[in-house]
Structure 1
């Protein structure tokens, strides 16, 4: 147990590259952590970390040791939690980062149902478009819209579902705008594009109608990382927004927005749960499975 505990402490320091953050995550004094890491280095007979007042870096031996220890520690913790879950219901704190529009528009009812199903789990939600660093920040997972991240290579992206994408504009905008009867007409319109909208590198977008596809180059005067802001601009008559039908439903019902080119749509955008490792605590695994199971009922894709 002493060896495994030393590995666990070392892995946390190596992961965060910071003694103080590691000590906070482990719930122990910084001085105690530093002393135990020094004892571990003495036991293995090699220096594992380069320490300075500004940062902590792994030595060559430390890099090798970290790669081996990380999987060992994760497997041990996973096994320990699995045994604990046999005797008790899943508990602890689940830390999730997610975009605000996705959280409020889609995930809120799913999160509420999950909380009722597992009353011993507490939650910390980081609702922001900011791309968190799962290797150095204390999150269990991040929910992200779009293609899974290509780097760093150790991240694991699990598909949750798909977000449909349609075009919406206000009656006022459409009244004064050029004719819009075919996707080619979009070249003469103002686009307000939020996070997750499908756009090719050359600025073109492909719309679908059954088996038929049309690719058109559109100008995007307003690009942003918020679907909510794109929706607000569309209601104000600024331009055409790329939205999903769930977020636009109330505005369509109230007459503030109208779906344009209603027979056409953009390709759905994937949503993923991204984690740092494949070995997950029970509460994280349950949460991802819960999202997958409930997603289709909410998104309707």
Structure 2
């Protein structure tokens, strides 16, 4: 029972408890001294300091035997319970590194989390019945450390909010300009980003901030497109629904519109002019030991996206 970062006073207390428990367990100072590789004098001094600190006599001492006083018996029982709890905690920590169990708290963006992350983690939970998952879906900036999350999924440039966290890149999120076949038949298909200004545009707006389209200009340089729209929505799926209904052009993540593109409900345009992409990361608190449940979750996400999943 040691503590490498304990103060001298704290270390003395820990050592005193260890010696006391061994004296009682082995039935005497001499046996405890031999077991702990200490002198009998050192054991006696440790017990004297312990009794002085507790202001109680722990042993009845005779020339032949040491037996516990009533106070000593009570203190011994408390020590055993404390040691048992410490051993249980250590066992749980070890099992967290060698068995897939315990609770994993994960925060992720709402739509990307629902479509791309949650299915992977739920599959992991299905494979490991001892794994408890808490999945939180939120587009607000979550303070991973302050709010006690084990894992966070983030998109975009990592800034100061990632301090104290480790990061692993999962995937590059690309976006696609698309529209319904009916809209393109009625309004024509844009052949360049310059023609977008003549079309109906569906814009994503949240907290009074428009998500500006970032596409190549005539020189091929990625720039913010100065687009306006009478239709502004704060939900990407609603924008996909509006585009499918023929209300205009949308700039949406490929993972969100993949099924609609495959079935022909939406058609991609400007395929030869790819726009800005965003990196997606897994982040977790920086600690010396990474629990196995967390390592497997990160590895499962990395493997899925490496195989082309989104």
Task: Indicate conservation of the 8 Å contact 2:204/2:210, yes or no.
Answer: no
Equivalents in 1 of 2:6, 2:100: separation in Å?
Answer: 26
| Count of aligned residue pairs for this structure pair | 225
Structure 2 length as normaliser, TM-score?
0.60
Task: Indicate conservation of the 8 Å contact 1:186/1:218, yes or no.
Answer: no
**Alignment match of 2:131 (pick from 99, 112, 121):** 121
Equivalents in 2 of 1:179, 1:93: separation in Å?
Answer: 50
Equivalents in 2 of 1:111, 1:178: separation in Å?
Answer: 42
Task: Please state how far the C-alpha of 1:243 moved relative to its aligned partner.
Answer: 2.2
Structure 1 stretches lacking a partner, 5+ long: 8-78
Structural RMSD (CA)? 3.9
Task: Please state how far the C-alpha of 1:272 moved relative to its aligned partner.
Answer: 1.0
**Alignment match of 1:239 (pick from 236, 248, 261):** 248
Q: Structure 1 pair 224/97, CA: closer, same or farther in 2 (3 Å)?
A: farther
Q: What is the match of residue 219 of structure 1?
A: 227
Query: CA offsets, 1:196-237, max 9 Å, x none?
Result: xxx999x5623399x955646231535555432221221233
Structure 2 stretches lacking a partner, 5+ long: 8-89
Q: Structure 1 pair 298/111, CA: closer, same or farther in 2 (3 Å)?
A: farther
Map 1:18-37 onto structure 2 (within 5 A).
none
**Alignment match of 2:284 (pick from 275, 280, 293):** 275
- The answer on 1:296 being equivalent to 2:280 is no
Equivalents in 2 of 1:134, 1:285: separation in Å?
Answer: 17
Q: What is the match of residue 36 of structure 1?
A: none
Q: Structure 1 pair 83/176, CA: closer, same or farther in 2 (3 Å)?
A: same
Task: Indicate conservation of the 8 Å contact 1:193/1:223, yes or no.
Answer: yes
Deviates more, 1:248-257 or 1:148-157: 148-157
**Alignment match of 1:251 (pick from 260, 266, 273):** 260
**Alignment match of 1:191 (pick from 174, 191, 201):** 201
Q: Structure 1 pair 150/172, CA: closer, same or farther in 2 (3 Å)?
A: farther
Q: Structure 1 pair 204/252, CA: closer, same or farther in 2 (3 Å)?
A: closer
Equivalents in 2 of 1:297, 1:223: separation in Å?
Answer: 35
Structure 1 length as normaliser, TM-score?
0.61
Task: Please state how far the C-alpha of 1:271 moved relative to its aligned partner.
Answer: 0.7
